Amino acid sequence: MKFFNYLLIIIFLIGFKTQAQRVVKTINSGWEFQLENSENPETVNIPHTWNAEDAFNDGAYFRGKGTYKKKLFIPQDYKEKNVFIKFEGANQVTKVFVNNQLAGEHIGGYTGFIFELSDYLKYENENEIRIELDNAHHADIPPLEADFNFYGGIYRDVELIVTGKSHFQLEGESAGNFPIKTPAVSEELAKVVFDTKVENYHEDLKLQVEITDPSGNPVSSREHSLKAEELSLDFEIMNPELWSPEEPNLYNLKADLIDSRSGEILDSYTSNFGCRWFKADPEKGFFLNGKPIKLIGANRHQDFENMGNAVPNSIHRKDYQMIKDMGANFIRTAHYPQDPDVYRICDELGLLVWTEIPVINDVTDSKAYHKNSIEMQREQILQLYNHPSIVFWGYMNEIFIRLVFTGDMSEADKKAKIATSVELAKKLEAETKKLDTTRLSVMALHENDIYNTSGIADIPDVIGWNLYFGWYTQGLENLGRFLDNQHKNYPNRPLLISEYGPGSDSRIQTNDPKPWDYSEAYQLKSHVSYLNQIMERDYMLGMAAWNFADFGSSGRQDSRPFINQKGLVNFDREPKDVYYYYKASLTNEDFVYIAGKNFENRIIKKDQPVLIKVFANSEKVELTVNDTLRKSSEVIDNIAEFQLNLSENIHQLKATAGNSEHSRIIQVQFRENLIENIKHQPLTINVGSHSDFTDEKTGEIWINDQPYIQNSFGYVGGHSYQQSETKFQGSASNIKATTNEPLFQTMREDIKNYKFDVPDGKYRISLLFTEPNRGASRENIYNLGSDASNASEKLRMFDIRINGTLVEENLNLARDYGALRAVELNYTMDSENEINVEFQPKNGNTILSGIKLEKL
């Protein structure tokens, strides 16, 4: 019994002494928050942004100051310790005050930072922590401008860290991280170097360092007396378990700082790391651990529908899991370092990473801008150093785009802009290499020779091209030509595609995809073409689609305003067709998927077969229709196509490939019967468009337009109004007073009639319009000064008659409603065998965006 008590005491003492002394706790909940211009504070939890809503409204979102306050009780105990506050990221200038005293200030919205609070605290007392944050535009802080929202707020976790009096260094650029370098790795041996630094050094400190292998078994365990505040330790791992996308093996290093007199652990540090080596060969592509690997994946922004950038870690994990499940092995965390968890997740999942700082579109020629950019790169590298997933450090994106597109820049200004950008690139390159000799540096360019002629493209190790052939520039097939030329002219440059892809909208479906129609089908067509062209070229390291998910960009006016819609998945992460296409192309386990989740209603001509696309990674796909009809089709480019002659009905499709099976129910309706059907279902037509549009609120499908057919319906005269010959969308502008932009953005100009051969009866006709000409606003409509000829074209004016009755005289959309506004005019009419809507121009051209016919 006595012995047992004695043992308990020993166990207690050992337990007490070896207990880690670093306490880390999140302090995310219950902050009082107030925006500079608001009257009342509110209570919020972190992650938080003040722009989750206003970045998706008309006009500029708020960019200015917000203040967070919180009372923190600090116990007496902590007087014997050191207390720190850690931010994983806050956008973009942060000042931390403790009891009204400034404890620290940080510039930049995308990296972490830590401040020591100890000197300002009252112990056994409440302390006020006040955080002042500012996301206003600042000419000296990147990003200056970009195609995404600079949401303000403390949008990543905040932690309180408590250590012993002597502790590992926490403040400073590396925000508590210490590099674990792997300067030489082979299958036989990995050399590992761990550099660390201690604050409040004294001679009785020792370090206990343990490395464990991916299964958690100790590889090395060593104790070192500290002779100075800094220590560098070398380790060797024999036959290391290499890190790769297939086997993301992670080692762990844990270091305890111990007071050798008392045996007390004062602080501890832990980090995963991995053993791998890689290279980028300008002729043969990318190699990981000596084996070629084509880098295929996506870019990813950090925001989410209705949340802005204040997303929980669980969403970060879900995103990267989806990217991994798609079969990708590569990710670009564009355009800024993301949450620290993101890189941990990429390590664990096995995704190779390009991470970059937000030096985008433009550079300010100031010392401060250069300094802040370099500081961001230093913080990025020092904080993320240990992640084996990271292979590229990026530092510029399309840095000459403003210069190219700003029309009135003088030659001298252009020269100066090029000079300062090249100078900054050189500094960033040097800094990158100074901090890390093992990774590759990279920058992303837009399609313009200025990057070559200016010499900037010669600075980094690897070049990423952002190429939008088939979208911003014409011809999907021009991609290969462009790349081959670059490769020929600059044979020593390893090349990647850092961005590509068109916008798409799940509400827009067609079998006849065209550039700028925002259909899922055009997105698919474009990605198939890109993937093929890259796979054919050994010299290409790989490619990253723009973007994994739709994301917020307040300046955007696409088919969903304020959102960049080039995602493989929607803003809420609901996959678009193209996501499954990649899954079929990139995964090995049997996979089959019937495309068209948002195209289950097929409204077609009687004699037209239904086109069904099935994605698969097999050679053949079998399709049953209503469990009977069996068809088999060859898989080309991971797509099997079926042309099915189906009755007007609901049909159950089932596709099988290998061990995988997928079903989808589709409904077929014949256009010829829509008139007959009108008593049950209004006839809704997406005038001027070749695509069907689904109104998400009502479920109505606005079918693609057709020329008038006797005993049926359709338009007479006119042409589809297009932005340009190659852009199959009438207007790329936000249309006011609707969320059904695509319905109004496409239209038929010069239309003469819209006719329906309907039986006698009472009908309601709704005509949908928008004036697409931005210049034709109410404000300038009477201003016929120097711009008179233009203005008269803007003053489109027409009469409308329905079955001969004048229902609109001199309808002038711009004058009466304003440009780019959804206008819906309704009329009730009796039919005498037909409804004939006549459009008669008075000035300029007639125009119509949509038409709906309901039987009353």
What is the binding site for ligand GCB (CB under 6 A)?
146-147, 335, 397-398, 446, 466, 499, 546, 564, 566
Closer of 206 and 402 to ligand GCB (Cβ): 402
Pairing between strand 719-721 and 747-749? antiparallel
Q: Which residues of 70-101 are buried (b: 16+ CB within 10 A; e: fewer)?
A: bebebeeebeebbbbbbbbbbbbbbbbbbeee
Min dist. Cβ of residue 398 to ligand GCB (A): 5
- Residues 6 or more apart whose CB falls under 8 angstroms from that of 10 comprise none
Give the helix ranges, DSSP H, for 567-714.
577-586
The smaller minimum CB distance to ligand GCB, of residues 198 and 544, is found at 544
Report the C-alpha gap between 370 and 410 in whole angstroms: 23
Provide the minimum distance between the beta carbon of 357 and ligand GCB in the complex, in angstroms, as a whole number.
14
For the CB of residue 589, give the shortest distance to ligand GCB in the complex, in Å.
32
Angstrom distances, CA of residue 363 to CA of 13, 332, 401, 421: 59, 22, 11, 6
Quote the least distance from Cβ 349 to ligand GCB, whole Å: 24
Rounded Cα distance between 160 and 479, Å, is: 50
CB atoms within 10 A of CB 229: 15
The owner of tokens 């014997």 is 80
Residue nearer to ligand GCB on the CB measure, 177 or 547: 547
Q: What angle do CA 209, 215, 220 make, to 5 degrees?
A: 25
Calculate the alpha carbon distances from 757 to 434, 710, 712 in Å.
76, 7, 5
Q: What span, in angstroms and rounded, lies between the C-alpha atoms of 510 and 522?
A: 8
Residues in the chain: 856
Helix, coil or strand: residue 565? coil
Question: Measured from the CB atom, is 397 or 432 closer to ligand GCB?
Answer: 397
Smallest distance from the beta carbon of 318 to ligand GCB, in angstroms?
A: 22
Give the residue from 347, 354, 350 showing the smallest Cα distance to 332. 354
* Pairing mode of beta strands 251-259, 264-273: antiparallel
Helix extents (H) in 385-495? 401-405, 411-435, 450-453, 478-489
Compare residues 145 and 637 and give the one whose CB is closer to ligand GCB. 145
CA gap 423, 417 in Å, rounded: 10
d(CA 855, CA 836) in angstroms, rounded, equals 15
Least distance in angstroms from the C-beta of 564 to ligand GCB? 5
Q: Exactly one of 398, 622, 749, 838 is catalytic; name it.
A: 398
Beta bridge partners of 114: 86
What are residue 232's DSSP bridge partners? 195
- The region, left, alpha or beta by phi > 0 then psi within -120 to 50, assigned to residue 699 is left
Concerning whether 398 is annotated as a catalytic residue, the answer is yes
Residue nearer to ligand GCB on the CB measure, 448 or 677: 448
> Pairing between strand 218-225 and 205-212?
antiparallel
What single letter denotes the amino acid at residue 512? D
**Residue 819 exposed, middle or buried by CB count within 10 Å (0-12, 13-18, 19+):** buried
Task: Find the residue with minimal CB distance to ligand GCB.
Answer: 147
Task: Give how far Cα 376 sits from Cα of 109, 337, 355, 396, Å.
Answer: 9, 9, 12, 12
Q: Please answer whether residues 757 and 834 qualify as being in contact, where contact means their C-beta atoms are separated by less than 8 angstroms.
A: yes
* Least distance CB 826 / ligand GCB (angstroms): 37
Provide the minimum distance between the beta carbon of 546 and ligand GCB in the complex, in angstroms, as a whole number.
6
In angstroms, give the least distance from the CB of 499 to ligand GCB.
Answer: 5
Q: Quote the CA–CA distance of 33 and 36 in Å, as a whole number.
A: 10
- Which amino acid makes up residue 813? L
Handedness of CA 164, 168, 169, 171 (dihedral sign): negative
Confirm if 243 and 281 have CB atoms less than 8 A apart. no
Q: How far is the CB of 463 from ligand GCB (least distance, A)?
A: 14
Pairing of strands 610-616, 639-644: antiparallel
Least CB distance to ligand GCB at residue 161 (A): 35
- What phi-psi label fits residue 577: left (phi over 0), alpha (psi between -120 and 50 degrees) or beta? alpha
Residues 6+ apart with CB under 8 A from 46: 28, 29, 31, 68, 154, 155, 156, 157, 158, 310
Report which DSSP code applies to 452: H
> Rounded to the nearest whole angstrom, what is the least distance from the CB of residue 553 to ligand GCB in the complex?
7
Distance CA 595, CA 614 (A): 6
Minimum CB separation of residue 379 from ligand GCB in Å reads 21
Is the Cβ of residue 166 or residue 529 nearer to ligand GCB in the bound state?
A: 529
Catalytic residue positions, numbered? 398
